[in-house]
């Protein structure tokens, strides 16, 4: 592994630590700035935020007018109006002007709007607690919502691409925290280099870089990214260049360059949004045309959430403000929608991840089902081959030896000693018994063709077979309440469980009656085997080390039941017979 991959792996393993440290710094800075705003509650102010921009000819301008959501009238201050004077005094002294006024007194502003200068008179307002909450508190909560949403996503997801995306929430949260800490209520808002460099300035370029990086990996890594894993770092290098350029040109001398970097940052974040949505929309349309339902389900929540986000950010807020100087919806509603966006996006991403996991598990189950079916077919073929070999080779040889022993015994009648005659009789009888046993095993080993045979009929064969082998046992069969709609796997498992139980009755139970009951309803199929034999202590029998070989049949019955998702219950005690109950749930189709 080369140094680049070691470096990349080290970063991935410390993402949570990096996120936590960065988040703590942002929250501390944002909270500190917010405290300064809280300290100004109760004082006079103009009803809007003053911003000092050193790149402008008139450095003071109206940055936000939080209480005016409707279109402004001509004689009111507007967004981006440049302040020339306030009551004939320099904007540097406007806090002194407000201090000398009473609420509702008028203040005269000389403003530059485009190429014209206007005199506008505005009332002095009181900065109250409710205005603080609606104007600043909601912005602070929005920042916390983004940071917390990113932390939840980073903590909950296992996908590397979603871990990358969580940092987009982090930088976005920093931007909203910076807006909540704008302290230009009584005093002008001066841009602090460190404050902006950590909170506000990285928001757009870093979000654009993260979205481009995310688009290269979600929902599957693109081929170029597998060949050129260093490409995402180019996105971040470009983001750092724009951040540095914007920060270093915050002076009137470099105003043109500062506007260039500002536009570049805006274009960068928009490019990240558009590229991400276009790539995934293309993948979605391709998968839809190819009928890949699972991939569609993975992409749908993410695409819907992304489109909702663009509608909230761009069409309800940013674009109308840039074009008309006011949003399409009241500021409070717009910010509330933005605050709710992180949990919506986190839910969509986690939903996509869970859908992907479900489809992956479903695919694995399908593969397992195919493998199980292949193993089942192999087992059936093997059993057929063994049964045919026994039928064609072993059974004829055994019968031939039996006939040879009988013939030899007849030829030597009167000549052989009593001991030899006895030995020949034993050999003849043994060969006959073995031949019958092999034939019975051979007939039982052949799998049942469930397309031609019902489970009721197969159980009837088992009962008749036991009665023929042991004339003292009477087998009663009740299958009238069974609908015979189960699949071959269920039928085969129940058949082998019944076969094993009847074999135990023949070998160990010393029973005279056996009741076989098969019944079903919409939810379950139930098989019961009850005999009146000698019974046994189930717990002692199953836990006894000496009985490992003898209870192998019971273990196999349990395994057969588990294989089809059922459960088996064995009830018995010495002298009270045995009751075996198998309950198999029917899955919804």
Tens digits of residue pLDDT in 372-428? 677 767 766 776 677 767 766 776 777 777 677 777 777 776 666 777 777 777 777
Both 70 and 206 in one domain: the answer is no
* pLDDT tens digits, 171-198: 999 989 888 876 666 665 556 666 777 7
Q: Which of 236, 255, 290 is the last residue before a domain boundary?
A: 290
User: Which residue, among 354, 349, 14, has the nearest Cα to 152 in the 3D structure?
Assistant: 349
Same domain, 155 and 78: no
Q: Is the pTM of this model over 0.75?
A: no
Domain boundaries, position 74: 46-127
Q: pLDDT tens, 13-39?
A: 678 888 999 999 999 988 988 888 888
The pLDDT of residue 228 is above 90: no
Q: What pLDDT score was predicted for residue 3?
A: 54
Which of residues 222 and 225 earns the better pLDDT score? Answer: 222
Same domain, yes or no, for 213 and 96? Answer: no
Which whole number is the average pLDDT over 539-564? Answer: 70
In whole angstroms, give the CA distance from residue 570 to residue 578: 7
Under the banding of pLDDT at 50, 70 and 90, the label for residue 205 is: very high
The SS3 assignment for 126 reads: strand
Residue 515 pairs in a beta bridge with: 476, 530
Answer with the one of 127, 152, 179 that is the final residue of a domain: 127
Nearest Cα neighbor of 77 from 51, 43, 39, 44 is: 51
pLDDT for residue 588: 58
Name which residue leads in pLDDT, 502 or 389. Answer: 502
pLDDT at 505 over 90: no
| Residue 343 domain-assigned (yes or no) | no
Whether residue 160 is found in the same domain as residue 279: yes
Compute the average pLDDT of residues 518-540: 88
- Same domain for 122 and 152, yes or no, is no
- Spatial strand order of the sheet with 116-123 comes to 116-123, 106-113, 82-86, 60-64, 49-52, 189-190
What pLDDT sits at residue 549? Answer: 45
In a domain, 467, yes or no: yes
Task: Please tell me the total count of domains within the chain.
Answer: 3
Task: Measure the CA–CA gap between 254 and 554, rounded to whole angstroms.
Answer: 88
Q: How much of the chain, in percent, has pLDDT values that exceed 90?
A: 19
Task: Answer yes or no: is pLDDT of 528 > 80.
Answer: yes
pLDDT digits 0-9 by tens, 60-69 = 888 765 555 5
The verdict on residue 180 lying in a domain is yes
515 and 586 together in one domain:
yes
Tokens at residue 495, please?
């058949």
Q: Out of 255, 271, 290, pick the residue that ends a domain.
A: 290
pLDDT at 7: 47
Confidence of residue 119 (pLDDT cuts 50, 70, 90): very high
Structure confidence at residue 583 (pLDDT)? 94
The answer as to whether 323 is a domain residue is no
Pick from 294-308, 368-382, 470-484 the range whose average pLDDT is largest: 470-484
242 pLDDT exceeds 90?
yes
Relative to beta strand 189-190, strand 49-52 is: parallel
What does the mean pLDDT of the chain come to?
81
CA distance 490 to 513: 26
């Amino acid at each position: 592994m080369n140094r680049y991959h070691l470096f990349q792996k080290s970063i991935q393993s410390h993402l949570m630590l990096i996120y936590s440290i960065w988040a703590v710094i942002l929250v501390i800075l944002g909270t500190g700035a917010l405290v300064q705003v809280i300290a100004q509650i109760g004082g006079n102010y103009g009803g809007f935020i003053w911003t000092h921009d050193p790149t402008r000819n008139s450095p003071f301008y109206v940055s936000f007018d939080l209480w005016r959501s409707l279109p402004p009238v001509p004689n009111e201050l507007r967004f981006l109006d440049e302040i020339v004077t306030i009551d004939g005094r320099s904007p540097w002294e406007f806090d002194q002007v407000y201090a000398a006024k009473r609420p509702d007194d008028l203040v005269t502003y000389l403003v530059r709007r485009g190429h014209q200068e206007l005199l506008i008179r505005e009332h002095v307002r009181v900065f109250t607690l409710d205005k603080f909450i609606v104007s600043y508190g909601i912005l602070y909560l929005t920042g916390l919502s983004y940071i917390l949403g990113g932390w939840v996503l980073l903590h909950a997801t296992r996908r590397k691409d979603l871990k990358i995306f969580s940092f987009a929430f982090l930088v976005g949260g920093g931007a909203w925290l910076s807006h909540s800490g704008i302290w230009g209520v009584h005093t002008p808002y001066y841009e602090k280099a460190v404050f902006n460099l950590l909170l506000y300035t990285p928001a757009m370029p870093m979000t654009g870089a993260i979205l481009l990086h995310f688009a290269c990996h979600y929902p599957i890594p693109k081929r170029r990214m597998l060949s050129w894993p260093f490409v995402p770092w180019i996105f971040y290098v470009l983001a750092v260049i724009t951040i540095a350029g914007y920060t270093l040109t915050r002076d009137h001398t470099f105003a043109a360059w500062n506007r260039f970097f500002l536009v570049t940052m805006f274009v960068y974040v928009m490019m990240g949004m558009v590229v991400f949505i276009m790539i995934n929309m293309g993948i979605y349309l391709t998968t839809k045309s190819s009928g890949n339902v699972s991939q569609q389900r993975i992409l749908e929540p993410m695409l819907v959430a992304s489109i909702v986000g663009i509608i909230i950010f761009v069409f309800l807020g940013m674009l109308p403000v840039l074009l008309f100087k006011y949003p399409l919806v009241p500021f409070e509603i717009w910010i509330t929608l933005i605050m709710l966006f992180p949990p919506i996006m986190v839910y969509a991403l986690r939903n996509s991840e869970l859908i992907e996991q479900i489809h992956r598990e479903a695919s694995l189950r399908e593969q397992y089902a195919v493998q199980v079916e292949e193993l089942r077919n192999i087992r059936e073929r093997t059993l057929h081959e063994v049964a045919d070999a026994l039928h064609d080779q072993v059974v004829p040889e055994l019968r031939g030896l039996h006939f040879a022993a009988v013939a030899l015994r007849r030829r030597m009648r009167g000549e052989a000693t009593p001991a030899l005659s006895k030995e020949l009789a034993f050999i003849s009888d043994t060969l006959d018994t073995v031949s019958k046993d092999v034939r019975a095993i051979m007939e039982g080993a052949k799998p049942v063709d469930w397309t031609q045979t019902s489970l009721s009929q197969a159980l009837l064969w088992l009962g008749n077979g036991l009665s023929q082998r042991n004339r003292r046992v009477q087998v009663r069969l009740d299958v009238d309440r069974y609908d015979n709609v189960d699949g071959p796997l269920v039928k085969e498992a129940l058949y082998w469980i019944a076969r094993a139980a009847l074999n135990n009755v023949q070998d160990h139970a010393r029973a005279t009656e056996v009741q076989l009951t098969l019944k079903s309803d919409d939810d379950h199929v139930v098989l019961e085997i009850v005999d009146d034999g000698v019974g046994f202590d189930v717990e002692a029998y199953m836990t006894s080390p000496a009985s490992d070989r003898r209870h192998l049949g019971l273990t196999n019955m349990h395994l057969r039941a588990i294989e089809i998702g059922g459960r088996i219950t064995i009830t018995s005690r010495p002298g009270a017979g045995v009751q075996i109950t198998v309950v198999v749930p029917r899955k919804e189709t």
